Structure 1
Amino acid sequence: MIQTGDQFLVKKINKSIVLETIKKKSPISRIQISETTGLNKSTVSSLVNELIQENFVYEIGLGQSQGGRRPLMLLFNNTAGYAIGIDIGVNYLLAVLSDLKGNIIHETMLTITDLPFEEIVDFLKKTIQSLIDQAPSSNYGIIGIGIAVPGIVDDTGKILFAPNLGWENVDLKGIIENHFRLPVTINNEAKAGAFGEKIFGAGKDVSHFVYVSVGIGIGTGIIINNELYKGYNGFSGEMGHITIEANGKKCLCGNRGCWELYASENALLEQAKTLSIPPAPDEKEVTLSHLVMLADTGNTDVIQLFNQVGEYIGLGLTTIINTFNPELIVIGNKLTSAEKWLMNPIKRVVESRSMRFHRKQLRIQFSNLNMYSTVLGTISFAIDDFFASTRITL
């Protein structure tokens, strides 16, 4: 629906500008908001008063004088409500409760290996309810739930295909919304990871970057001109399924020789089985953390295994570099724990195979957010939806 430029729309735009300014720059005074936004003082004062009444903003006392009276400073009320973020991986479920600035209040990590959809939904409902019960009292309560999955999600939030989970045409959004009567957003986990890095991580001040989620599979989230690129139908970023071996292994997506079959956590664990590496004493199967520990203690077979996987990661990154010419590539998800053993082979392959013009100013780094890029992205989506009624996009 096209909104006409009447006085109500103008007020809504101005209120959105004032709130976003306070969120980003608080503590800030009314006069500073006026100077920053160009809005006149009376408009700012009126809008700030409304935001105070709505409990999104509050006064925290007097600031330093700039030559006149000391100004009253304003702060965004990040505890006016709380959001829940869920990252559903192939073998884990990470759930967090955060305030309206993404500060994590509680978190839960569950193992969900090889569980059917119904059991995962049951776990999900119990976990969400537990976080709701732990949420502090607030004016707006739980403002929304953001969920990320490793699969193709359409614009309505329906999960069309998640091959590594064995899901197809799943309306998880409807199931959770009907159960909790709360707004729910569903997104691809790599896109959520890219958004999390843009808001909270390495991508804060970067206009063009690609987030590469390396877990059981591989997905990518693409930021172009500071915006998350979704593609025509919202399906962009399935770089884990680019072909790197023409006659390679069969993939669950239906293709052969997909990148994620050679460069993911799953590829690492499958190769570890061929080396007959025993699991840790308290575990049934070899895990990534156990392999990292073995490499750290000098196990040459495992070190070579990481080197091989790192080279394959570098091979796929070369395609990304030559295609998108990013300023930054951020590698996230579970393989961040193996950065020490992966970074050198990745860089070695990238430097030998990518076009020199494209990599001249490129940076490659592992995420400082570790496992939290995606879940923080889901929270940001939920918070954005909550404030959508106060924000105007021109």
Structure 2
Amino acid sequence: MKRTGDLQLIKELNKSIILDVIRKNGPISRAEIAKKVNLSPTTVTSAVSDLIRDSLVVEGGTGESSGGRKPILVQLNPDVCFLIGVAIDASKITIAELNLNAKVKRKEVHSLKENIDFDFCNVLIKMIDHFFKKCKNLNNCLGISITIQGIVDSEKGMVAYNPKLKIHNLPLKNAIEDAFNIPTYIDNDTNGSLLAEKGFGNYQQSKNLIYVTIGDGVGASMLVNDSIFRGFHGGAGEFGHTTIDYKGAPCNCGNVGCLENYVSWRAICSRIVSEIEAGNKSLLVEEVHEDLSKITPELFRKAIFAGDVLANTILDDMAFYLGTGLVNLIHLFNPERIILGGELAFENPLLIQKVNEHISRYALQTHSRQLEVFPSSFGNDSEVVGSASLLLHELFHFTLK
């Protein structure tokens, strides 16, 4: 006999699955929901009643009749509540308010100064508190969802290691929950982006998927047979710290010749500045009025499209090294597709094209057949949508083991 706790758990799980079906297919009838999730009409009707009571679902319109009365349709009520997504990288913290469809309603970006020691938790709490002051009703906040670069133990809510922010074993989840008394979720940034693609993006049907982020750092998240591959300590996916040159430059992780030193924005920006200071001409000099510290990924992409020789030479090298690393991932995981996200991949179709060409040339045909690299589904909001997806995955329990 099932214990009461077990039955309640099954009931809540069924509600999450039914809510996800309504999210994806609404307006939809209760009978259609029952067919899709293979549950009894009574179970579905009870769950939908609970969801309507909680205002997560609303009735609206009628469907086609199959002989009796026209069925009343139900759909998600995405703005009944909100959540806060926080995306943290080495140079900035982005905080956004999102609805239940992962739509960004408001967003703030806070820059972080390099090489300055500070109390990270205290700084983040102040930023979130300031953001909350512009929210209409905190009682409608479902939770805070945080993604951060580095090695994260999502179950313990611990940032185990982030060399750029000098973080070791930081209990970030507990610190945020203690400060705001709001449920908080935390995971690696690239895992969040993968969840976003699986739950809300253009690649929801893929069961073997790799998401690669290229920005301040370089990370990867692997979906293997519909499950995120996390590794023993949650550290799987440190793609940027795979070695491609044992005689290469030192990395802040303590190794040498890491991929990150060739394709991250810090590496690209450093090379741009070095080449210009060495006398190479570039449209970027005029764009920043000779203040090279103002060169951004957006200006780099603009120079590429304008045919700037230096920018395109650096792009070629970047695509080669990135493509080489991706070929290794392809041979290890044999994915259906790869998604490139992050500020260097955003609105950069030439990078996507060159990486696809590299894979086509160097990867095993058995692994590269029908494989293609695509851009993120969420453009400039991909980071915070990824953050929000940690919480939304718990709410909707969308198809991910």
Instruction: Tell me the TM-score normalized by structure 2.
Output: 0.88
Superposition CA RMSD, Å: 2.8
Tell me which residue corresponds to 1:141. 140
Matches within 5 A, 1:60-209: 60-114=60-114, 116=116, 118=118, 121-137=121-137, 141-154=140-153, 155-209=155-209
Please say if residues 356 and 372 of structure 2, whose CA atoms lie closer than 8 Å, have aligned partners that are also in contact.
Answer: no
Matches within 5 A, 1:348-363: 348-363=357-372
Q: 1:243 to 1:31 in 2, by over 3 A?
A: same
Deviations, residues 166-188 of structure 1 (Å, cap 9, x unaligned)? 22222222222111111111211
In structure 2, how many angstroms separate the alpha carbons of the residues matched to 1:156 and 1:77? 32
- Which piece of structure 1 moves more, 53-62 or 186-195? 53-62
Matched, 1:333 2:342: yes
Q: How does 1:219-258 map to 2 (within 5 A)?
A: 219-258=219-258
> 1:393 Cα deviation (Å)?
9.9
- Superposed CA offset, 1:254-286 (max 9, x none): 111111111221221111121126371395512
Q: Which moved more, 1:247-256 or 1:26-35?
A: 26-35
Rounded to whole Å, the distance in 2 between the matches of 1:393 and 1:211 is 15
Task: Specify whether residues 111 and 282 from structure 1 end up closer, same or farther in structure 2 by C-alpha distance, changes over 3 A only.
Answer: farther
The CA distance in 1 between the partners of 2:83 and 2:172, in whole Å, is 18
Shift of 1:236: 0.8
* Deviations, residues 138-180 of structure 1 (Å, cap 9, x unaligned): 8x51111111111111231211111122222222222221111
Instruction: Output one character per residue of 1:97-131: Cα deviation in whole Å (capped at 9) or x when no partner.
Output: 11122121111122223164636545533442344
SS in 2 for 1:372: helix
Shift in Å, 1:28 = 1.5
Q: Which moved more, 1:326-335 or 1:41-50?
A: 41-50
Note the alpha carbon deviations across 1:184-214, whole angstroms, 9 max, x for none.
1121111111111222223212111100101
Work out whether residues 265 and 335 of structure 1, in 8 Å CA contact, stay in contact via their aligned partners in 2.
Answer: yes
SS in structure 2 at match of 1:256: coil
Deviation (angstroms), 1:227: 2.1
1:369 aligns with 2:378: yes
Higher deviation after alignment, 251-260 or 349-358: 349-358
Q: What amino acid does structure 2 have at the position aligned with 1:70? A: K
Deviation, structure 1 residue 339: 1.9
What residue number does 2:279 align with? none
> Is 1:296 aligned to 2:305, yes or no?
yes
Distance verdict in 2 for CA 1:359–1:4, change over 3 Å: farther
Which residue identity is paired with 1:216? D
Q: 1:241 to 1:323 in 2, by over 3 A?
A: same
What runs of 5+ residues in structure 2 fail to find an aligned partner?
A: 277-281
Q: CA deviation at 1:252?
A: 0.9
Q: Is the 8 A contact 2:337 2:373 kept in 1?
A: yes
Partners of 2:140 and 2:243 in 1: CA distance: 46
Give SS of 1:34's match: helix
Query: Is the contact made by 1:148 and 1:189 (CA closer than 8 Å) also made in structure 2?
Result: yes
The aligned counterpart of 2:318 is: 309
Change (3 A) 1:355 1:144: same
Contact 1:194 1:374 in 2 (8 A): no
Distance change (3 Å), C-alpha of 1:60 and 1:240: same
Tell me, yes or no, if the aligned pair for 1:13 and 1:392 is still in contact at 8 Å.
Answer: no
Structure-to-structure mapping, 1:265-280, within 5 angstroms: 265-276=265-276, 278=285, 280=288
Q: 1:127 to 1:359 in 2, by over 3 A?
A: same
Q: Which residue of 1 aligns with 2:213?
A: 213
Inter-partner Cα distance in structure 1 for 2:213 and 2:358: 19
Letter in 2 for 1:321: I
Match of 1:281 in 2: 289
CA deviations on 1:65-92 (whole Å, 9 max, x unpaired) are: 3332122111222223211111111112
Distance change >3 Å, CA 381–CA 264, structure 1 → 2? same
Question: TM-score by structure 1 length?
Answer: 0.89
Q: Determine what percentage of the aligned residue pairs are the same residue.
A: 29
SS at match of 2:70: coil
Go from structure 1 to structure 2 and tell me whether the alpha carbon gap of 1:123 and 1:371 turns closer, same or farther (over 3 Å shift).
farther
For structure 1, which segment, 159-168 or 53-62, has the greater mean C-alpha deviation from structure 2 after superposition? 53-62
Q: Where do 1:14-93 residues align within 5 Å?
A: 14-93=14-93
The answer to whether the Cα contact below 8 Å between 1:307 and 1:341 also exists between their aligned partners in 2 is no
**Runs of 5+ unmatched residues, structure 1:** none
SS of residue matched to 2:118: helix
The alpha-carbon distance between structure 1 residues 262 and 51, as it changes in their structure 2 partners (threshold 3 A), is: same
Instruction: Please give the alpha-carbon distance, in whole angstroms, between the structure 2 residues aligned to 1:17 and 1:337.
Output: 32
